[in-house]
């Protein structure tokens, strides 16, 4: 003999089951949304990291390009004498032929018109007798003109990658990297070397700035070199 269960009790039980099922469905929906959000966040982080690595590689390539520029070398390593098409203008370097390549960096008064406090052709020099009054480094966003790269509001010229070396443009970046070069006397202003002569030993500081596929992804690198 079956127990006599009131119809109202059965109805209440069915209603409770429906509520429990709806709660479970809401929980599953929230879990699904959380998983999608987490996946999207991870994808963005991965893309940002990949873009930063791209900008880093471009900045490193710009440093090497500037070093080739200083040494009058093209991308393939051949000598690029001043005054030759695609090379530095004549006068900006002391050497104009391969025979003089070893003495390419004979620093002296003849070069000072081409290395200025205004960074003519991306070459900066604060003359001992006429030091710059700038309050920020020449490579700062507010001092240098980094071309199409965002946040740059300066006027000092910078050099685009490959300008004086013939290097092939870097693919997949929003703008080609650029660099600026500063020259310093190695032992200070108006100092004599070991022979008693005015020192002509110089150091160079290269600042390279690059972006990835996104102009907001910026990497700045610096290196010091001596001829």
**Helix (H, G, I), strand (E, B), or coil: what is residue 48?**
helix
* Residue 158 belongs to some domain of the structure: yes
Q: Which tokens in the block code for residue 209?
A: 């700035």
Res 213: pLDDT: 93
Lowest mean pLDDT of 26-40, 65-79, 195-209, name the range.
Answer: 195-209
What lies within 8 Å, CB to CB, of 101 at 6+ separation is 72, 79, 95
Q: What is the mean pLDDT of residues 8-37?
A: 71
Res 198: pLDDT: 47
* Residue 96 belongs to some domain of the structure: no
Higher pLDDT, 80 or 144: 144
Model confidence over 142-188: pLDDT tens digits?
899 998 777 788 899 999 999 999 999 999 999 999 999 998 776 66
Q: Hey, which of 23-37, 58-72, 139-153 has the most confident mean pLDDT?
A: 58-72
With bands split at pLDDT 50, 70 and 90, how would you rate the model's confidence at 227? low
* Residue 17 belongs to some domain of the structure: no
Range of the domain at 188: 53-65+109-225
* Residue 74 belongs to some domain of the structure: no
Lowest mean pLDDT of 58-62, 97-101, 176-180, name the range.
Answer: 97-101
Q: Count up the domains in the chain and report the number.
A: 1
* Residue 48 belongs to some domain of the structure: no
pTM: 0.74
Q: What is the mean pLDDT of residues 35-63?
A: 85
pLDDT averaged over every residue in the chain: 79
* Residue 36 belongs to some domain of the structure: no
pLDDT-above-70 percentage for the chain: 72
Closest CA to 210 of 142, 155, 143, 139: 139
- Rounded to whole angstroms, how far apart are CA atoms 28 and 222? 52
Q: What is the mean pLDDT of residues 5-25?
A: 64
Res 18: pLDDT: 73
Res 169: pLDDT: 95
* Residue 31 belongs to some domain of the structure: no
Res 15: pLDDT: 63
Residue with the two structure tokens 């290395």: 115
Res 14: pLDDT: 58
Contact, 219 vs 58, CB < 8 A? yes
Q: Which tokens in the block code for residue 130?
A: 């006429």
* Residue 178 belongs to some domain of the structure: yes
Label residue 201 exposed, middle or buried (CB < 10 Å: 0-12, 13-18, 19+): middle
**Helix (H, G, I), strand (E, B), or coil: what is residue 183?**
strand
């Amino acid at each position: 003999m079956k127990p006599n269960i009131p119809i109202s009790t059965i109805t209440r039980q069915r209603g409770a089951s429906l509520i429990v099922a709806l709660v479970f469905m809401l929980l599953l929906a929230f879990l699904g949304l959380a998983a999608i959000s987490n996946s999207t966040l991870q994808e963005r982080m991965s893309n940002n990291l990949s873009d930063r690595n791209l900008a880093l590689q471009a900045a490193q390539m710009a440093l090497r390009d500037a070093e080739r520029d200083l040494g009058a070398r093209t991308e393939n390593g051949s000598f690029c004498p001043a005054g030759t098409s695609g090379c530095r203008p004549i006068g900006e370097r002391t050497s104009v032929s391969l025979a003089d390549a070893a003495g390419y960096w004979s620093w002296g008064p003849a070069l000072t018109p081409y290395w200025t406090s205004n960074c003519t052709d991306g070459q900066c020099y604060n003359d001992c007798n006429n030091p710059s009054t700038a309050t920020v480094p020449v490579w700062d966003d507010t001092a240098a003109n980094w071309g199409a790269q965002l946040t740059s509001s300066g006027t000092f010229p910078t050099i685009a990658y490959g300008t004086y070396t013939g290097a092939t443009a870097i693919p997949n970046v929003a703008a080609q990297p650029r660099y600026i070069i500063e020259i310093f006397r190695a032992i200070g202003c108006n100092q004599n070397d070991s022979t008693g002569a005015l020192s002509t030993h110089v150091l160079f500081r290269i600042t390279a700035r690059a972006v990835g596929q996104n102009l907001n992804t910026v990497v700045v690198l610096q290196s010091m070199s001596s001829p």
